[in-house]
Structure formats: structure tokens, C-alpha cells
Structure 1
Amino acid sequence: MKKKTLAASSSVVLSAALVLSACGATDSSKGSSAPQAGKPAQAKEFEVSFRHTQIKDNAKNRMAMFMDVLKEVEGNVPGLKFVPEGVDGTVNRQTKLKAEFAAGSPPKIFEVFGGSDTRNFVKTGNMLDITPIIEELGLKDKLIDFSEFTVNGKIYGLPMAGSVQGVFYNKKIFADLGVGVPKTWDEFLAICEKAKAKGITPLTLGAIDAWSLNMIPSTVMVRLGGPEVVQGFVTGQTKWTDPEVVKGFEMVENLIKKGYYTQNALGLKYPEAQAKFASGEAAMAFDGSWANATYADPSKSSIVDSLGFFNFPNLGGKGDNMVNGAFSNGFGFSAKVDENEKKAIKEFIKVFFSEKYQKRQLIEDGYFPAIKLTDMSGVKPIIQEINKSIDGLKLFPAFDSIVQPKIKSDLEAGMQQVLGGKTNMKAMLEKLQQSQETENKKSAEQAK
């Protein structure tokens, strides 16, 4: 992944989180109807599918913004009618899109992940190369990072937002404990121990949603081994059993053994763990920047005035001064479009990736923009704090945007077993390496 230096003065960089998309569309009508005497010509209507994943209650604001985008685009393109379709995010990613690309019939505009997902879909020849559109609209220099959607120098998608991962903390609890922001791993552990001694949960965790288990390990692993560790898994240059990888995961295992995570974490979903931090029950929450939408919302959080954020402490390794940040969730477009549909796609890109809507998603829902903003007025204080904490640092991608889907699911299941005491980190990673080797062989065979 192309690394970027984040500068608070130039933009609010990153955040995750949302994933939008588009649904399969009916064939578009072409041309326009003949004008009647004394009346202006009327463009023939044509439909463009638009698949999104904004189907949950917490996505109402987000969905309203997308509908405003679609309405504006329709007003700019004569005859255009969008056909929205809401689909569960996991179903869209793991089932529907794979089947549609295999059949050669993807939606016209759709939610897609960058990295391996985009690369695999590009191989089918059914994903639109939008490089000429980006250049025509002058967006290339405005976008913060589109590397995960770039394949062989061509752009096949755009991230709708970005994210970074770090530690949200309760400033009041820290003050009561007599501690400050930790600069080292030992200081971080000392805070956890002091919080536990006072009956306060050091770190929230909702392990039913197993992906959240891997946020800290991913950061620790790269802090120790450097960013090339993640890329190396799929090339065979890195093994899950390498010393620095094992050490990173065993450091996290130590957090589990010492009881620093939420009790009964295996019985909690990610939003439930967030609620515990937001209610003041925990000192810290290792989370993505998207979580500011919950923690800084007075209707959901009682710690708004005590909310802080810090970058995870350096560990003295090759990846110090780097932050897990990515622009992975975005839009893709079908290559099977006519001229009318292509006009609609270009206008959609122009409207959605304008400062108007990129700033709106930041203010309303805490999603960091995909473009550099020139106006930061009205932005929540915690956003400014997040941005300041990562100023001057470089990004590295989350491992699940690089490795094969099975490796992601195997690691998530393995981490749940470690948390439940059914195995240990070293044994889990040895098993994971066997799976990685099998998947790499499959990938090599498919590439032939």
C-alpha cells in the first residue's frame, strides 16, 4: 500500500468505516424522445442500480445523505433514475458480489473493499477502469489515498472514507488514577493494572464480532516487525510463526491472561463493548476513528466531556511511528455500462466526492473524508484530537485487506479460542501458518 504522511493542516485524514454500494440495474434506455411541436425534448428515462449496506438503525443519517447524493445526481443527468438496494454488508461482500462477478453481471454502482477484493474482481474484466474519469474531474490530487483500488496503475474504485486505529480514553479516569498518556508499552500496562486494581475495566472488547479482537494484535505486530510483515504473508516472505509476529501476539495474550479486557468479552458484541466505554465503565477502548460517532454523541455517551484519543505507544521496533489506517471501504463500478450509465457514474463520483458531502459525513457521522478538506469549521473536538495524534505518522493497511478471506476468518476464530482458553497464541499461529501456505498455493495456481 502506498504510504501517506498525515498533516492536520491539510486535511482531516482517514476513517472508517462505512461501506456503500450499488445494486444490479436494468438495461438503460438510450437516446431521447423526439420533441413535440412547441415543447422541449424529453430525455428517455434510464435506470442505474445502486447497492448500499446502510440497512441498520445506526445508519439512518448516513442513508439520508446518500439519498440526497442520488437525488442531486439525478437532477444533473436528464432521464436518470437510481434504483437503490440495501444489502447486509457481509452478504454483499462474501456472497452476492462474488456470484455476480463470476456470472459477469455485477451491479452498476456497488460497495467494494479495496485490496484483495478489488484485485480479484478486476481479473474478471467486469470492473470499470475509472482512471479517465478521475483525471477529467481533477480528483487525483484531492483524494488522500486510492492505492487499495489501483491495479496495474489503473484506478478501479474509490474509497468513500478512511480510518485510523488507536486508543480512545476517559480523561477523568486517567486523572483519578494519576496517569497520563502512555509513551511506552510498560506505561500502557501500568495503566491497565492501576485501572483493574480500582475495579475499572482497562480495555473494552466485544469478541462476538471477532474482527475487533485483531485490532490490537495487528498494530503490535507491525510495530515490532514493520509494515512489510503484512504484505509478506501472501508472498511467503513472512510467516505467522516468525519471532516478531509471535512476540506481538503473545504480548496481547498477556493482556488476556492479566484480565485487562472486559469480562465475558466472548458474550458481547462490538456495539455492546462500545456502550460500556461510553457509559464510563472502562478506562480505554482500542477502536477505529469511526467510533467517535458513538463516543462523542451525547445521546449515546456520558463521557463526551472526558473523551480523549492517543496513538498506540511505540514498541522500539521497525514499525514505530506508523498507524493502522486505511481507505479500504469504497465504491466500484460495472464495466458493462452504456454511455448514459457512464455519464451517471461520472456525475455520482463528482457529487459524492465533493467537499460538501465529504465534510457532511464527517460532521454527521464521524467518517473521515476521502478527500482533503479546506474547511474544518464545525468539526468535533475529538476529531481534531485524533488528527493531531497522528500528524506526521505513516499509514499501514489492515492485514485483512491483504490476506486471503479464509486467513481472516481463521485468525478471528483462532483469537476467540485463545480468549476462551481453548488454545494458546503460539499453537494458534502455527495452525494459521499451515492455512496460509495452503491459500498461497491456491493463489499461485489461479495466477497461472
Structure 2
Amino acid sequence: MKKKLVTIMAVAVGLTTVLSACGKDGGSTGATTTPTGSAAPKEFTVSYRHTQIKDTAKKRKAMFEDALKEVEANIPGLKFESEGVDEVVNRDTKLKAEMAAGNPPKIFELFGGTDTKNYAKTNNLLDLTPILDELGLKDKFVDLSEFTVDGKVYGLPIAGYLEGMFYNKKIFKDNGVEVPKTYEEFLKACETFKAKGITPMALGGNEAWVLNMLPNTLYVRVGGQSVVDGLQPGQSKWTDEAFVKGHTMFKDLIDKGYFNKDALALKYSQTQDRFANGETAMIFDGGWANQKYSNPDQSKIAADLGFFNFPTVEGGKGNDLINGSYSNGFGFSAKLNENEKKVVKEYIKVFFTEKYQLRQLKEEGFFPSMKLSSTGDKPIIAEMLKASEGKKTFPAFDSMIQPKVKLDLESGIQAFVGGKKSVQDLLAEVQKSQEAENKKTAK
């Protein structure tokens, strides 16, 4: 499933076939009108759940809503019942319970990897393979592997992502620091900034998932992606050398004072503000954040924004990798009547098109999940693509492990960052959770 993200932009593969099938505007062939004198179409509703409820997601929510309006216009009588739910609540609580009970929404945001595999086993997740074949869409996606189970596709990725180091070019230049290529150079850069009273990196841990981004890259740098791939099958353990070394490196960065001291008190958005306001030299973040950092209305450093892949580690087995994947998407209930099946098909025809893929790229900087014929000219996007050249992508660890293990690691990492838990204690506890979940999965 490893793919170079540069494929997204560099390969000029148009969606001509898709667009001609769906209409020149990226939607379907148009609304069906009711003949004069005939009865009005019977009204019906279809449930739709999204997670775009934060202030930072207003543009994305508007895009989703526009797509729903198009679908409603194309299907007489249709009215969507749209529901916005917090991303963590949707993934870790609501959707999990609904799948167990057999009553998920008809259309909903879905996480790839383990979530999709588990839900496919319940028979409550719609197999999209025949629909994609009918619409000629299967080969239009860059990578469907995280939503594919036993050769069948159960979800469609909305966008891709990269994780790496955003940096302030002015701070680097003013202090004579070059972009580090090795971990040793990176440590020297951090020490230079600290010595001059500049916080090297912004970090926030009020939302625990943020704390796991950098360690994920560190232990994959050390041991390669195979160490994460082997967790659920039991071929590797959280207590193995790669995980110990990666978390020890992270702890070392904390102990040396290379992050802001109030990390655990800061929300993710507040951490981003620190970097966007020019208060730190760097921040390890997801590519989605480029929209904020490059927007002069939200960032004081927009003109000085840069990005680099995290430096190589001596002897590292994952030095040729970059954290990036296609995990966030849409899934559909397997329990649909004929009207609902038409709606699902129409939604896929309308939403998964170059029109909306380009819109999210231009408005928010999200990497397309589909092959596009054009990409726009946003400088930071080009810089991120350059950072990914020659690299293979690896997915975030939480798409490869069970949700319970993810939650246990998140609660443990906060205590770890706060100095209340050692590397060994943290990883021993997470491994215990991993083994317990692996036993459940094997049943």
C-alpha cells in the first residue's frame, strides 16, 4: 500500500471519464422534474453524519453541505438529516456502539484501517466494490488500501495527509540555522534556538492524540513501519527496541526544554497559535494545518512558512519514509432500501469528483485522495510535495491498532509527558492492553 505522495500531484491523470459521467460541473446529470399535473414525489429522509463541528472546519462543513444540496436537487423527495458529532466521540463511542447494534447512519465519516476492518466483520458496512465498478471510479483514487478488506472496498477516502515539521524560515535565517537533514543536526538546531531564548518547538497535550504524532515518526524512523504492522498480529511488541528508543528520544526532547513548558495545558488550536504567532521556530503537525499557517489572516508567519520531512536517524530502518496516508473517509450502512441505495450512489457521484477534490485543496490545503489533472499553485503545497519526493508513506499508528489500545496509549502519554510515568512503564502498560485486544480480535 506504500505510495509516494508525489503521485497525487505529479501524475496528470484527469477525471474526464468520471466528469463526463457525472456532469460537467462535477455533479450528476441533474434533477428530475415532476411533470405538470402529476403527484409530487414522496418525501423521504436519509441520515448523514459528519465531524466538521469546530470553528476551523467551517469551510469543510460548507463543502459537505453544498454536496448534500446537489444530491437533494438530483433526487426528488430526498431530504438529508444531517448531524454533526465530535470526531473523537464519533469514532470511539457512537459509531462503535451503532455498529455493534446494527444501526449506523446511512452515510457517515469513517476512519480507515482497523476501524474499517472491524466494522466490515459486522456486515453493517456497505461493500462499495460494485458501485465503484459501475461508476468507473475505482482507479480514480490514489490509494484505497485502508478501506479495503479481503479485496472489497468499504469506504472512500476524502483526502490524504502528511505529517512533518513546519518551520519559520525567518527565525532559521536570522539565527544561521539550516534545515536539518539528520537527527544530530536537528538537535543542534534546537539547542541554538534555546540558547537564544527561542522555544524550538510548540507542543500541546490537552488533547492527547497530538502528543503521539511525533513519537509515531520517531519509532518508525528507528524500526521501520513493520514494527507497527506487527503489533496486532503479535509479531512485534510495544516494549521492543524501536518503540523504547523512539519514546526515549521524545522524552529527551522534553527534558532538554525544546518544547514549551505548558504543553499539557494547551489545546491543539492553542499550540498552533503559538507557532502561527511566531513564538516558536517549529511545530510537528499534519499537512492539514498548512491552511492556517499560510493564511495571513490567521498567521503572522505566512510569508515565512516552510516544511521539511523529519530528519533521518542514524541506522534507522524507516529513514526513507514519511508519515502520510488516506485514513479519513466516508462509509455507508449496509442496510439500505432502494431509495437509500440511489442516494448513496448519487452522493458518491457528486462528492467524489475533481470539483470537490480541488475545492478542499484550494480552500484548506487538504491533499486529494483522487488523481487530479490540476492542483493550483499554493507554495507550501509544493514545498510539502518536495519533502515527500522519493519517500514512501506510512499510515498513523492508530489506523493499525485497536481503538482500545489507542485510548490507553493516549491516557498514558499524558502522564509520560508530565513526568509521572517512565518509558518502560508506559510501554509495558500499552503492551498489556495490546495483548488483551489481540486475544479479542483472534476470537
Q: Under a length normalisation based on structure 1, what TM-score does the superposition of the two structures give?
A: 0.91
2:364 matched residue in structure 1: 365
User: For 2:138, what is the secondary structure of its paired residue?
Assistant: coil
Once the two structures are superposed, what CA deviation does each residue of 1:379-416 show, in whole Å capped at 9, x if it has no partner?
A: 42111111121023111111111111221122222221
Give the 3 Å change call, closer, same or farther, for CA 58–72 of structure 1 in structure 2. same
1:9 matched residue in structure 2: 10
1:439 matched residue in structure 2: 437
User: For 1:234, what is the secondary structure of its paired residue?
Assistant: coil
Q: How many residues align?
A: 422
2:134 matched residue in structure 1: 136
Find the aligned partners of 1:308 and 1:247 in 2 and give their Cα distance: 28
Counterpart selection for 2:210 from 206, 209, 212: 212
Matched letter for residue 93 of structure 2: T
2:122 matched residue in structure 1: 124
User: For 1:141, what is the secondary structure of its paired residue?
Assistant: helix
Q: Does 1:327 align with 2:326?
A: yes
2:390 matched residue in structure 1: 392
1:233 matched residue in structure 2: 231
User: For 2:232, what is the secondary structure of its paired residue?
Assistant: helix
Find the aligned partners of 1:413 and 1:90 in 2 and give their Cα distance: 14
User: For 1:325, what is the secondary structure of its paired residue?
Assistant: strand
Judge conservation of contact 2:213–2:285 (CA < 8 Å) in 1.
yes
| Structure 1 range deviating more: 158-167 or 96-105 | 96-105
In the TM superposition, residue 83 of structure 1 has moved relative to its aligned partner by 1.5
Find the aligned partners of 1:248 and 1:63 in 2 and give their Cα distance: 36
Judge conservation of contact 2:105–2:332 (CA < 8 Å) in 1.
yes
In the TM superposition, residue 246 of structure 1 has moved relative to its aligned partner by 1.0
1:75 matched residue in structure 2: 73
1:427 matched residue in structure 2: 425
**Structure 2: gaps spanning 5 or more residues:** 14-31
Aligned-residue CA RMSD (Å): 1.8
Judge conservation of contact 1:170–1:303 (CA < 8 Å) in 2.
yes
Give the 3 Å change call, closer, same or farther, for CA 385–264 of structure 1 in structure 2. same
Find the aligned partners of 1:268 and 1:11 in 2 and give their Cα distance: 41
1:152 matched residue in structure 2: 150
**Structure 1: gaps spanning 5 or more residues:** 13-31
Matched letter for residue 318 of structure 1: K
1:86-97 alignment runs, 5 A limit: 86-97=84-95
Give the 3 Å change call, closer, same or farther, for CA 343–218 of structure 1 in structure 2. same
User: For 1:412, what is the secondary structure of its paired residue?
Assistant: helix
Judge conservation of contact 1:6–1:392 (CA < 8 Å) in 2.
no
Q: Does 1:302 align with 2:300?
A: yes
In the TM superposition, residue 40 of structure 1 has moved relative to its aligned partner by 5.0
User: For 2:140, what is the secondary structure of its paired residue?
Assistant: coil
1:264 matched residue in structure 2: 262
1:222 matched residue in structure 2: 220
In the TM superposition, residue 325 of structure 1 has moved relative to its aligned partner by 0.9
In the TM superposition, residue 11 of structure 1 has moved relative to its aligned partner by 6.8
Find the aligned partners of 2:78 and 2:216 in 1 and give their Cα distance: 44
In the TM superposition, residue 6 of structure 1 has moved relative to its aligned partner by 2.4
User: For 2:284, what is the secondary structure of its paired residue?
Assistant: strand
Find the aligned partners of 1:98 and 1:241 in 2 and give their Cα distance: 28
Judge conservation of contact 2:227–2:242 (CA < 8 Å) in 1.
no
Find the aligned partners of 2:342 and 2:193 in 1 and give their Cα distance: 57
Runs of 4+ off more than 6 Å:
none
| Structure 1 range deviating more: 413-422 or 192-201 | 413-422
Matched letter for residue 140 of structure 2: K
Counterpart selection for 2:251 from 250, 253, 262: 253
Q: Under a length normalisation based on structure 2, what TM-score does the superposition of the two structures give?
A: 0.92
In the TM superposition, residue 41 of structure 1 has moved relative to its aligned partner by 6.0
User: For 1:423, what is the secondary structure of its paired residue?
Assistant: coil
In the TM superposition, residue 239 of structure 1 has moved relative to its aligned partner by 1.0
2:182 matched residue in structure 1: 184
| Structure 1 range deviating more: 171-180 or 420-429 | 420-429
Judge conservation of contact 2:361–2:375 (CA < 8 Å) in 1.
no
User: For 1:233, what is the secondary structure of its paired residue?
Assistant: coil
User: For 2:260, what is the secondary structure of its paired residue?
Assistant: coil
In the TM superposition, residue 426 of structure 1 has moved relative to its aligned partner by 2.2
